[in-house]
Amino acid sequence: MDLVRLVEEKVLSVVEKVFKVFEEELDYQSFEAGLKKELDSLGCDILKILLEELDQQLRKDKERKKHWSVVRRNDCKTVTTLFGQLEYRRRYYRHKDSKEY
């Protein structure tokens, strides 16, 4: 799964930076700033995976297909999260009877 690989890569990156602090190649303040950046990036990546997976589940839902049809695919959406700007891809649906989106 992409999520497990992603978390593993980020954790390894943080561990490398911890060792640099211990070896005095990196000062505490730089480590702290880098850690925040890594964790914010991880948060955005996890949310992106989650949102795109939820979109896949909506698309596969047989009951939903009876009433909704896909009108646009791979639309790029940007949202602001606690972790920063997040850009992901999603579908847009239209109700077959009411025509609402």
Predicted confidence (pLDDT) per residue in 59-100, tens digit: 999 999 899 999 999 999 999 999 999 999 999 999 999 999
- Give me the pLDDT at residue 19, please: 87
- In the chain, how many domains are there? 1
Whether residue 101 is contained in a domain is answered as: no
At position 85, the amino acid (one-letter code) is Q
Residue 42, domain extent: 2-95
pLDDT band at 10 (very low <50, low <70, confident <90, very high): confident
- Across the range 1-7, mean pLDDT stands at 82
Q: Quote the pLDDT of residue 18.
A: 87
Q: What backbone torsions phi and psi does residue 92 show, to the nearest 5 degrees?
A: -115, 140
100 assigned to some structural domain: no
Q: Pull the structure tokens for residue 76.
A: 């790029």
Residues paired with 6 in a beta bridge: none
1 confidence band (pLDDT: 50, 70, 90): low
Sign of torsion over alpha carbons 41, 44, 50, 52: negative
In which band, very low, low, confident or very high, does the pLDDT at 17 lie, cut at 50, 70 and 90? confident
